Amino acid sequence: MRAIYSYGIAGIIVFGIAAWLATGTLVTGGRGPGNGEHSIVSLVEENGGPITTALKESGMLTEHEESERVDPHLTIAERQAQTSGVAAPAQSVRTVTFAMQPLAIEVPLRGRTKAKASVSVMPETQGVVRQVHVEKGRKVAAGDLICTLDQGTRAAAVIQAEAALAQAQQDFDTNAALREKGLQPANSARAVEVALRAAEAGLENAKAELERTEVRARVGGVVQDPLASVGSMLGAGAPCATVVQLDPMLFAGMVPEARVAYAKLGLPATVTTVTGQTVEGKVSYISSTADPATRSFAIEIELPNADAKVLDGVTAEAIVKVGTAPAHLVPQSVLTLDDDGVLGVRAVGADSKVAFYPVTIMKDTREGVWVTGLPPRVAIITVGQEFVQEGHAVQATDVTDDPAAQGEAPAEGAAS
């Protein structure tokens, strides 16, 4: 009997708890008042039933009404105004008007400096080096004497050619005098004239051969190895010295195929070497054929180098200025994201309402960020942009001419 009594009491308690829970509320989703709230009894009777009817008649079932959806973009003041029917005061913000400016479009390149030419100064005749007139590292100009070869019999050949020319000239003059007197036939003039011209050519060749013993630079530059030594025998293909032409200097780099369309001959460029030298130059050469391995095009920039301070083979970086594009220079602090994660700025239009403009960053500098996608003149919100949304009416104060006020914190209550 005692067991029956205990089970009976327990059953009554369980039944009572079940009845109490059936009158309660189950929340699923948690989307705010009236959204996601259901009666527990609805799990048993989805569309109503005798249990639901009995609970309603007894007044024990909790009724759930759908509440009005709240716009998450509204501020607290605007929500209160919507509830009370009294217009909320406009949000106070500060703006700065930015105008469109030309942005220099620049293509960066990496490469190295390269001498305009490296010329081997070789004699045009064979001979032994009698004297070297330059040293390695010395600057020379075109026409400067580099080394002198032993003349050998070349001087004697010039004297002999001069004597032969004098004899040929005398024979020519004598023949002319005799022909005037009729003592020589008229057709004899041709032979003496040919002999005279041959003697003249022989003298010119002898002098030229003598001059070839003085080896001179064909271009200006700096003398480098290999440099001949006194007493060495020079012939065809044996250089007396090497002259590296450093003025003008070249920058040699590669342009990616995606940017080769921007490259044009004559474009200005700034070249900076790893040694800290900065030189202005112009694009002088663009290859018409891409490198098969890198799919890039060779480019050369000509640099003035009268003082020869820019050396050959130094790693450098070039910035080629390919033109300009309209853009705005704005502080990085005004950039924000909309609800979809799009980067842009919030601005105030002529109707005193907030507008959101998506932007594209073109260049990041110390002065600010260059962006595109804005109207020619735009009043961007610099203080308070995080407290307003697109379409909100605001009370804007333009501080374009007051730099000190552009970075001030919003006034008390600005976030309301």
Tell me, rounded to whole angstroms, the distance of Cα 376 from its chain centroid: 25
71 lies in some domain: no
- One domain, residues 268 and 316: yes
Last residue of a domain, one of 324, 355, 389: 324
Q: What distance in Å separates the CA atoms of residue 46 and residue 58, rounded to the nearest whole number?
A: 19
Which residue bears the tokens 């054929």? 289
Q: What distance in Å separates the CA atoms of residue 342 and residue 335, rounded to the nearest whole number?
A: 10
List the CATH number of the domain containing 236.
Answer: 2.40.30.170
- One domain, residues 133 and 231: yes
Sequence-distant (≥ 6) Cβ neighbours of residue 287 within 8 angstroms: 297, 298, 299
- One domain, residues 50 and 163: no
Closest CA to 98 of 342, 336, 373: 373
List the CATH number of the domain containing 195.
Answer: 1.10.287
pLDDT digits (tens, 9 = 90+) for 259-305: 888 888 999 999 999 999 999 999 999 999 999 999 999 999 999 99
337 lies in some domain: yes
Structure tokens at 202: 């022989």
Residue 113 burial (C-beta neighbours within 10 Å; 0-12, 13-18, 19+): buried
- One domain, residues 138 and 249: yes
- One domain, residues 230 and 304: yes
- One domain, residues 315 and 173: no
310 lies in some domain: yes
pLDDT tens, the chain, 416 aa long? 666 667 667 767 756 665 555 555 655 555 555 555 666 656 556 666 666 666 566 655 555 555 555 555 555 656 655 665 555 567 889 999 999 999 988 888 999 999 988 898 989 888 899 999 999 988 899 899 999 999 888 889 999 999 999 998 998 888 888 888 877 887 888 888 888 899 999 999 999 888 888 999 988 888 988 888 888 888 777 889 999 998 899 999 999 888 888 888 999 999 999 999 999 999 999 999 999 999 999 999 999 998 888 999 999 999 998 888 899 999 999 999 988 899 999 999 888 899 999 999 988 889 999 999 999 999 999 998 888 888 888 888 888 876 554 544 443 333 33
- One domain, residues 114 and 224: yes
The total number of structural domains in the chain stands at 4
69 lies in some domain: no
Give the residue numbers spanning the domain of 15. 2-58
- One domain, residues 164 and 260: no
- One domain, residues 155 and 141: no
What is this structure's pTM?
0.55
For residue 276, the one-letter residue type is G
pLDDT digits (tens, 9 = 90+) for 327-341: 999 999 999 998 889
- Judge contact between 227 and 242, C-beta under 8 A: yes
Helices 154-181, 189-211: axis angle to 10 degrees equals 160
